[in-house]
Structure 1
Amino acid sequence: MTATLVPDLTSPFGTYRAGGWERFVWKLADRHDLAASLRKRVRALVSRLWAGPFDAEADGLRFRLYPGSNYDDRKILAKGRLPERGEHALLARHLREGCVFVDVGANVGSHTLAAARAGARVLAVEANPATADRLAFNVAANGFAGVEIVRKAVGERHGEMALWSEPSNCGFATLVPELTTGEWAGDWRARPVTTVPLADMLAEAGIARVDVLKIDVEGFEDRVLVPYLAGLEATRLPRVVMIETNCRAHWEHDCLALLARLGYRATGATDDNTVLELEASRPEGGRA
């Protein structure tokens, strides 16, 4: 039984091996056949007693897990596999040696690590400081040198915005304050974060073209994507875009309509995300 308030970012991977009991209690807390109110009480109890850390592998990738405060960590520990299995399957055929993968809203690194293992150069963008620390640990635990982490938010302009996060799931952070009420109401807290337009972030990293762009920023996807696409020549458009759509009610611009006008077509979707591919072929890109 393990509990912690401060993440351990220094002890080597394997210090906190997850055993059968920890997996069992989190699998119980993750059961969706329980009534929502009962599942919430079970999860609160398990979160207090088995918050983490736990070191575990999922689909051959190493993670230091804090299931008490991160949804993806809960899924990995309870199920013994990566979360978003459908999304990983949709992206897998596009990730290969030498391609450029940009992960906006990288969380603890499920997609970042999978892309790095495939040989991609990865730019992982994670604005929540606590989540970015955990992401950095997971990258190091897997020995991936081709990952660069940017600890800022992508915004429409250079500046500062309030990033809202909920302590039971630090990976679910948003720049859209309206999202913190209603369906997702909770103990949300705000902190200031630096915002940088995606085009400028890529230029600073020396990336001229993106092959696969993933955007998962809880209702702020349009304000990441639209300004970026507006400044691009057709020959420099990303080949593939995966965009989170389950918070699209909070968009100010219809990203999917814009992508369709630019020549993208949807080639796969899950309950939460849509994958689109550029129909016109173009040379693959990389470093400027």
Structure 2
Amino acid sequence: MSEAAAHLDTRSPFGTYPAERMVRAAWRLADRHDLSRGLRKRIRSLVARFFKGPYDLEADGLKFRIYPGENYDDRKILAKGRLPERAEHTLLEPHLQDGTVFVDVGANIGSYAVFAARRGAEVVAIEANPQTAHKLSYNVRANELDNVTVVNSAVGPKDDSLPLWHEPSNCGFATFVKDLTTGEWASDWSPTYVNVRPLTAIADQQGLKRIDVLKVDVEGFEDRVVLPFLRHADKPMWPRVILLETNCRPYWSEDCLPELANRGYEVTGRTNDNMVFELTG
């Protein structure tokens, strides 16, 4: 989609940009899955031209400033009036309470991080895309949360600088895996070089003594986040629970699942896109 990006506003008070009825109706139309994928894409492009955002709205009791022309999660929140990961939240909620340490790798606009923080968790929300990290920080402030630390960094096996591929209609689908930018997901992708750090280094910098729940959603790079951490971190730092996006599993360079099983993790939940693992030892 080649339309100009929406104006990024992370300063004005929440409520400055109400989502009027016409806006919601337009994005509901663009989200209709009874339409063909091609038609839905054309409608979305047209709607994004006129209703790109930003808009302020509440979903499941949480406040978000969203930019639906630029992000899939934002479109889902606006079209459905709720958070897009309800099934995953249901699986995670029993593990979230006051003092839980929740690390969110690939935090996007905060639909997991804000959800976990509202349930009392101490959250480290890690987001590689600088502009998305600004949006995430705004949403944290809009919800008046003081238990979320936003880290603008990518996570990988070693300190590095890598091209993060992104396309203008879905900044939340940024990836280091260039093969993902072709075929089914072919679009107007472009790279931005970002700093990459191991999760062990970020955890040490944040002074973490443990990670209770780890969520990793980094579009085919999940193996290069999780496996180096488990191989280099002391066992007391291993997360009790891992929510791992697996819908890009064919693009992993190593399959995480056998090693997770060998280290004592059992699958305790599944959704269409994710799996939940719990440490049993």
In the TM superposition, residue 193 of structure 1 has moved relative to its aligned partner by 0.3
1:78 corresponds to which letter in structure 2? A
1:216 matched to which residue of 2? 217
Map of 1:152-191 to 2, 5 A cutoff?
Answer: 152-191=153-192
Percent of aligned pairs with the same residue? 58
1:284 matched to which residue of 2? none
1:63 corresponds to which letter in structure 2? F
Q: Is the 8 A contact 2:6 2:67 kept in 1?
A: no
Deviation string for 1:25-73 (max 9, x for gaps)? Answer: 1011000000111111111100100000110000000000100000000
Q: Hey, what's the Cα distance between the residues in 1 that align with 2:280 and 2:267?
A: 10
1:197 matched to which residue of 2? 198
In the TM superposition, residue 23 of structure 1 has moved relative to its aligned partner by 0.9
SS at match of 2:63: strand
In the TM superposition, residue 5 of structure 1 has moved relative to its aligned partner by 2.9
Q: Is the 8 A contact 1:4 1:52 kept in 2?
A: no
SS at match of 1:122: strand
TM-score of the two chains, using structure 1 as the length reference: 0.95
Q: Is the 8 A contact 2:153 2:195 kept in 1?
A: yes
Q: Hey, what's the Cα distance between the residues in 1 that align with 2:219 and 2:37?
A: 22
In the TM superposition, residue 235 of structure 1 has moved relative to its aligned partner by 3.1
SS at match of 1:243: strand
1:86 corresponds to which letter in structure 2? A
Q: Is the 8 A contact 2:213 2:241 kept in 1?
A: yes
Q: Larger deviation: 227-236 or 202-211?
A: 227-236
Q: Hey, what's the Cα distance between the residues in 1 that align with 2:237 and 2:155?
A: 19
1:145 matched to which residue of 2? 146
Q: Hey, what's the Cα distance between the residues in 1 that align with 2:136 and 2:114?
A: 9
Q: Hey, what's the Cα distance between the residues in 2 that align with 1:273 and 1:20?
A: 33
Q: How many residues align?
A: 278
Map of 1:31-50 to 2, 5 A cutoff?
Answer: 31-50=32-51
1:198 corresponds to which letter in structure 2? L
SS at match of 1:103: strand
TM-score of the two chains, using structure 2 as the length reference: 0.97
Is residue 106 of structure 1 aligned with residue 100 of structure 2? no
CA RMSD of aligned residues (A): 1.0
1:73 corresponds to which letter in structure 2? D
In the TM superposition, residue 4 of structure 1 has moved relative to its aligned partner by 6.2
1:65 corresponds to which letter in structure 2? I
Q: Hey, what's the Cα distance between the residues in 2 that align with 1:169 and 1:134?
A: 14
Q: Is the 8 A contact 1:172 1:218 kept in 2?
A: yes
1:13 corresponds to which letter in structure 2? F
Q: Hey, what's the Cα distance between the residues in 1 that align with 2:97 and 2:141?
A: 20
Q: Hey, what's the Cα distance between the residues in 1 that align with 2:77 and 2:156?
A: 30
Is residue 206 of structure 1 aligned with residue 197 of structure 2? no
2:251 corresponds to which letter in structure 1? H
Unmatched 5+ stretches in structure 1: 281-288
1:16 matched to which residue of 2? 17
SS at match of 1:110: coil
1:59 corresponds to which letter in structure 2? D
Name the CA shift for 1:4/1:158 in 2 (closer, same or farther; >3 Å). Answer: closer
Name the CA shift for 1:64/1:83 in 2 (closer, same or farther; >3 Å). Answer: same
Map of 1:48-127 to 2, 5 A cutoff?
Answer: 48-127=49-128
Q: Hey, what's the Cα distance between the residues in 1 that align with 2:89 and 2:48?
A: 27
Q: Hey, what's the Cα distance between the residues in 2 that align with 1:234 and 1:249?
A: 28
Unmatched 5+ stretches in structure 2: none
1:283 matched to which residue of 2? none
Q: Hey, what's the Cα distance between the residues in 2 that align with 1:19 and 1:89?
A: 29
SS at match of 1:5: coil
